[in-house]
Structure 1
Amino acid sequence: MADAAVVQVIDTAVTRRGDGQFMAVFVHGFLDDRHVWDNVVSQLDAPEFEFVQIDLAGSGARADAEGPFDYDHFTADVGAVVDHIGKPFVMIGHSMGSAIAELVAAARPNRAMGLLLLAPVPLAGVGMPAEAIESFGGLGGDKEGQCALRKQLSAGMPGPELERIVTAGAQLRPDVVAALADCWNGGHPDGVSPSRYAGAGLVLTGAADPFVTADVVSAGVTSRLPQATTAVVEGAGHWPHMEQASAVAAQTSEFLERTAAEFLAEAREQGWTQAFADKTESSFAEKFTEDVVLEASALQRPAEGRDLVKVILATASGIYESLTFTHEASHGSRTYLEWEATAFGGLKLFGITVLSKNEDGKIARAAIHHRPLGALQKFSGELRQRLDGTVDSSYFHGD
């Protein structure tokens, strides 16, 4: 994994690691900072992702930030970072941060790939009575009180982690702490309705968490996110990512890999494969850069330029009687598609397509490899015949 880079993004303190085509965005909870995710992120096995850890306003490196310290403000801050980086993303939030993660994802359905909630407080709020929430809101500057709270709600926080996060939490201004407590206790109006986020979801809870219990999750979280799966982290209380970092990293890596595969499959279905299903020049033209280059075993030489390439591919798609994309993989800007097809009354063809995209997601280069040789030659000859008078016949195999 690439070294961490600490940067300012839209006036927000952010740690960025990795350079994948997707990003996983980590949002911390009450009294915490972005570094609570360090041990998890350092163990993640998801090379397709960049990892982005954010300090919320009033916390960590942003202790001097101005409010309001509420869900709408936090969501706008985190959303601005997500939009500035611009990659498809998975939101990962802990406790109070889980509500922010949901709101950010719900507002960006086309780029939100997944939502992972760790010990999540309900978006509708916890609803503690005034005297109870005052004990949380009064923890600003109270290092002993914060230490006692963390020990009470955890199942065995490692000593160095406990000391670091208590020291960091004690730096929060008393007014910020009081506002944060009111925020997660009062909740957000969206919390009383089914979630506006409809994508893949995973909810992780600590087996020994006395605060976010199974009943709390069932009543206030998964009832609103019925598509989300749930899992329990053994040996953990309210901070599983600090108490059992390796276990959380393993679950997170699996979720990231799965959501990336699902996102790519959907994008493939809506993009290149949809163009073959439509069999129209306009569908292909939408996918290409103006100077796209097509290389194919059915061509004697590369075809260059969108106008020429779209005509060839639209005509080729009409030759297939059936076409199924069977496997897919991506690396950086390249996508590899394996497929099988029939033509000419059931003749089978097999092949691999390699697509190279630019920063805007447009296809700049496509390479299509057919087999077996006999079927390839017949396919190329058919293309030549159908495009006679439209495309120079020297592009194709045959007499």
Structure 2
Amino acid sequence: MKIHTNGVSLNVRVQGDGETSLVFLHYWGGSSRTWHHVTHALADRFQTVALDQRGWGDSDAGDGNFLVATLADDVEGAIDALALERYVLVGHSMGGKVAQLLASRRPKGLAGVVLVAPGSPGPSVFPLEQRTMMTHAYETRESVAATVTQVLTGKALSTSDFEQVIDDSLRGAPEAKVAWPMATMMEDIRSEVANIGVPVLVVGGESDKVDSVELLSSHVLPFLRGATLTVLPQTGHLSPLESPDELAQLIARFACGAANSEWSNAR
């Protein structure tokens, strides 16, 4: 379905039913389809809501504004449009940074946050040269394939998932491909995330070359009060496609606990 909010039309995939909804935000280069194995595994217990963030998938790119706050506004608008009463945010990589900022606003109905190999709330540690190279990662089929096999994955993807990743990466709006490595990942929201008032689970991949377990431990966890870290064995950066069943189990367990948590999200 399409949801019109914050000046853009966002493509949203809704499945399942349940008292608690799970809102999925994808990585830089992905789309709502990145989560298809995970949402399929969870739709019998939860309502799953997966968004194409602006500039990706079938969502509009808008006016070229890809600030973390703008992306968080998009998600908040979609949640309001769907009238979700209780939900858990699940953000992957870029989507993880967006989820952190949105959670820091303490929106009504938020029960918890799952951060899957999330972008750091502080400026990225990647040097300018490396970030500049990233802007060319999704230019051609060959460049995407090399990025997937050499950087993003620790396990081989199925043929269909591999082709999906290539298609999603190539379809991204040019300005969206540049915005994350050159601007958005450098934003500093550390002071904001200190305001998160719900349980937080951070999930890392043992073989992640992008947001390694060491990087999560040093540049993410220290800024998230009470957050816990779980590591998926032999898994790279694309855990929703590499280890979907294991990830789905972690999300389900966390969501059930968060929904019954005594933590308050009241201001």
Q: 2:194, 2:225 within 8 Å by CA — same for their partners in 1? A: no
Q: Residue type matched to 1:259 in 2?
A: A
Residue 46 of structure 1 and its aligned partner are, at CA, apart by 6.4
Provide TM-score, normalisation by structure 2: 0.89
Q: Residue type matched to 1:210 in 2?
A: K
Q: Residue type matched to 1:95 in 2?
A: S
Question: Per the alignment, do residues 64 and 213 of structure 1 end up closer, same or farther by CA in structure 2, a change over 3 Å counting?
Answer: closer
1:39 aligns with one of 18, 30, 37: 37
CA distance in 2, matches of 1:138, 1:253: 36
Structure 2 counterpart of 1:50: 47
Question: Per the alignment, do residues 223 and 266 of structure 1 end up closer, same or farther by CA in structure 2, a change over 3 Å counting?
Answer: closer
Q: Deviations over 1:265-313 (max 9, x none)?
A: 979xx9xxxxxxxxxxxxxxxxxxxxxxxxxxxxxxxxxxxxxxxxxxx
Structure 2 counterpart of 1:165: 165
Structure 2 counterpart of 1:8: 3
Structure 2 counterpart of 1:216: 215
Residue 227 of structure 1 and its aligned partner are, at CA, apart by 0.7
Structure 2 counterpart of 1:237: 236
Report the secondary structure of 1:205's partner residue: strand
Report the secondary structure of 1:29's partner residue: coil
Report the secondary structure of 2:210's partner residue: coil
2:18 aligns with one of 20, 23, 31: 20
CA distance in 1, matches of 2:217, 2:207: 16
Residue 179 of structure 1 and its aligned partner are, at CA, apart by 1.1
Structure 2 counterpart of 1:346: none
Report the secondary structure of 1:210's partner residue: coil
1:120 aligns with one of 118, 121, 124: 118
Structure 2 counterpart of 1:198: 197
Structure 2 counterpart of 1:207: 206
2:139 aligns with one of 118, 138, 141: 141
Q: 1:90, 1:113 within 8 Å by CA — same for their partners in 2? A: yes
Structure 1 counterpart of 2:100: 102
CA distance in 2, matches of 1:232, 1:111: 28
Q: 1:71, 1:183 within 8 Å by CA — same for their partners in 2? A: no
Question: Per the alignment, do residues 162 and 183 of structure 1 end up closer, same or farther by CA in structure 2, a change over 3 Å counting?
Answer: farther
Give the count of matched residue pairs.
260
Structure 2 counterpart of 1:84: 81
Residue 64 of structure 1 and its aligned partner are, at CA, apart by 4.6
Structure 1 counterpart of 2:174: 174
Q: Residue type matched to 1:160 in 2?
A: S
Q: 2:32, 2:51 within 8 Å by CA — same for their partners in 1? A: yes
Q: 2:208, 2:235 within 8 Å by CA — same for their partners in 1? A: yes
Query: Structure 2: where are the runs of 5+ without partners?
Result: none
Report the secondary structure of 1:41's partner residue: helix
Question: Larger % of strand: which?
Answer: 1
Residue 168 of structure 1 and its aligned partner are, at CA, apart by 1.7
Q: Residue type matched to 1:163 in 2?
A: E
Q: Residue type matched to 1:133 in 2?
A: R
Structure 1 counterpart of 2:70: 73
Q: 2:32, 2:50 within 8 Å by CA — same for their partners in 1? A: yes
Question: Per the alignment, do residues 40 and 12 of structure 1 end up closer, same or farther by CA in structure 2, a change over 3 Å counting?
Answer: same
Q: 1:45, 1:253 within 8 Å by CA — same for their partners in 2? A: no
Q: Deviations over 1:144-193 (max 9, x none)?
A: 11211111221112232111111121112333211122234312x32256
Higher relative contact order (CA 8 A, sep 6+): 2
Q: Residue type matched to 1:144 in 2?
A: E
Q: Residue type matched to 1:253 in 2?
A: A
Q: Residue type matched to 1:70 in 2?
A: L
- Matched-pair identity in %: 23
Residue 110 of structure 1 and its aligned partner are, at CA, apart by 4.2
CA distance in 2, matches of 1:224, 1:140: 31
Q: Deviations over 1:306-334 (max 9, x none)?
A: xxxxxxxxxxxxxxxxxxxxxxxxxxxxx
Structure 2 counterpart of 1:344: none
Query: Which runs of 4 or more aligned residues in structure 1 lie more than 6 Å from their structure 2 counterparts after TM superposition?
Result: none
Report the secondary structure of 2:204's partner residue: strand
Question: Per the alignment, do residues 9 and 16 of structure 1 end up closer, same or farther by CA in structure 2, a change over 3 Å counting?
Answer: farther
Residue 56 of structure 1 and its aligned partner are, at CA, apart by 0.7
Report the secondary structure of 2:260's partner residue: helix
Residue 63 of structure 1 and its aligned partner are, at CA, apart by 5.1
Query: Structure 1: where are the runs of 5+ without partners?
Result: 1-5, 271-399
Q: 1:140, 1:178 within 8 Å by CA — same for their partners in 2? A: no
Residue 9 of structure 1 and its aligned partner are, at CA, apart by 4.9
Residue 8 of structure 1 and its aligned partner are, at CA, apart by 2.7
Bigger radius of gyration: 1
Report the secondary structure of 1:73's partner residue: helix
Provide TM-score, normalisation by structure 1: 0.61
The equivalences for 1:230-309 within 5 A come to: 230-262=229-261
Q: Residue type matched to 1:248 in 2?
A: L
Report the secondary structure of 2:11's partner residue: strand
Structure 2 counterpart of 1:343: none
Q: 2:104, 2:193 within 8 Å by CA — same for their partners in 1? A: no
Residue 141 of structure 1 and its aligned partner are, at CA, apart by 2.8
1:186 equivalenced with 2:183 (yes/no): no
Q: Deviations over 1:184-207 (max 9, x none)?
A: 4312x3225652102111011111
